[in-house]
Amino acid sequence: MGVVRLPVAWATVAAFAVFGGGWLGTLEAPLVAAGLFAWLFGVILWSAFGVVHEAEELAHRLGEPYGTLILTLSIVIIEVALVAAVMLGAKAAPTLGRDTMFAVIMIVMNGLVGVGLIIGGLRHHRQNYNLDGAGAYLAAIIPLTTIALIIPNFTRSTPDGSLTPVQAVAFSGLTVVLYGIFLLLQTGRHSDFFIDALKPGAAAPEAGPAHPDAGTGAILRHAGLLIVSLLPIVLLSKSLAAILDHGILALGAPSALGGVIIAAIVFTPEGISAIKAIQRDQLQRAINLCLGAVTSTVGLTVPAVLAIGLLSGQRVVLGLPPAEMAVLAMTLLLSVITFSRQGTTVLEGAVHLVVFLAYLTLIFSP
C-alpha cells in the first residue's frame, strides 16, 4: 500500500500546486466543492495512515516510550498544520484552536477510551496497565487543559475567553515548560512508568530496543519515509482548510464542526492503532497513545495557536462555553477515577462513551 500511497499523495500535491488556485475559485458549485473535499480528505487521511505506519515501525525498533512519543508528535504536527492553515486563511477562525483541542480531548479521552475499554473488557474481562504512567499523564493533562481552556474565561482583562498579549506569552511559556518537564520524565529517569507493569511471575523485560532489526540504517529509512509521508499533509492542509471553511459557512453548520473534522482526520489512524493494541491486551500501549496524544496536543497546540494569533494580529478565543467546561471537568474527574485503580472493565468504557455522546449532542444542539 505504501508503494501506491506516496505517489498518489505527491501527485495530489503537484496537481493542487498547478491547478489548485482555479479549482478553489469554483467552490460555489456544490458538486465541485464536495468532490475536492472528498479527494483531499481521502488523500490526507490515507497519508496519515502512512505516517502512523512508519511511526509504528520506529516504535518497534526504538521501544517504549520513544516509539509512541514519535507517533504522537507526528500526529500533533499534522493537527497544528491544519489548524494554522485555517487560521491563516481568508476567514477569521478565533475559536478553531480551542474547538480542535476540545474535540481531540473528547474523541480520545471519552470516545476512543470508551470504545477501547468496552472492547477490551468484553474480550479480556479485566485489563491491567502501569498505574504510574497513567497518573503521570493525568498530572500533566489536568493543569494543561485547565490553563488553556478554562482559566481564560475567568480573567478580568478580556470578557470573551481570549487572552491579552502578556497572558498569551505567559501561558504559552508555562505550557511549553510543563510539557518539556513531562517529556524529560517520560524519556528519562521515569521511562519505566510508560512500560507494561510487570505481572506476577513474569520475568523482567530486557533493556534495549524492542526490535531485532534496530540498526541505524533501518531507523533512518523509516524516519525518512515518515517525513516524506508527513509533508504532503502539511502542503495540502491550506487547500483543505479553504474548502472546509467554505463548506461550514455554506451549510450553516456549527463552527465547532471544523475542529471535530480536523481531529477526526488526525486521530483516526492513531485511534485504530490504539484499538488494535487493546485487542492484543496491550492496554499500556493504548494508554500511551491516547493520553499521550492529549498531552502532546494541548502542550504543543496552545503555544502554536497563540503564536499565530500574536504574529498575525488575530483574536484567539480559548475559553470554553459553560456547558463544554462542565463536560471537560466531568471528563477529567472521570479519567482520574478510571485510571486511579489497577484494572479496567466494560463499566468504565460505557461511562466514557456516554460522556462522548453528550459532547456530540452539544455540538449540534448547544
261 closest CA partner among 41, 77, 9: 41
Q: What pLDDT is stored for residue 211 in this prediction?
A: 47
What's the pLDDT tens digit per position in 131-151?
777 888 899 999 999 999 999
Mean pLDDT of the chain: 82
What's the pLDDT tens digit per position in 211-238?
445 567 888 888 888 888 888 888 888 7
φ, ψ for residue 17, nearest 5 deg: -65, -35
Domain boundaries, given as residue ranges, for the chain: 2-364
Does residue 206 register a pLDDT over 70? no
Quick one: cell of 147? 490553563
Of the pLDDT bands very low, low, confident and very high (cuts 50, 70, 90), residue 270 is: confident
**241 contact partners, CB below 8 Å, separation of at least 6:** 82, 85, 86, 89
**247 contact partners, CB below 8 Å, separation of at least 6:** 33, 37, 253
Q: What separation in angstroms does the CA of 174 have from each of 12, 18, 171, 293?
A: 39, 42, 5, 19
Of the pLDDT bands very low, low, confident and very high (cuts 50, 70, 90), residue 253 is: confident
Q: Point out the least confidently predicted range of 20-24, 37-41, 192-196.
A: 192-196
Helix (H, G, I), strand (E, B), or coil: what is residue 345? coil
Of the pLDDT bands very low, low, confident and very high (cuts 50, 70, 90), residue 350 is: very high
Tell me the fold of 2-364.
A middle domain of Talin 1 (1.20.1420)
Quick one: cell of 268? 483516526
| Distance between first and last Cα of the chain | 42
Q: What pLDDT is stored for residue 123 in this prediction?
A: 80
| Rounded mean pLDDT, 288-300 | 85
What's the pLDDT tens digit per position in 94-127?
888 888 889 989 999 999 888 888 888 778 777 6
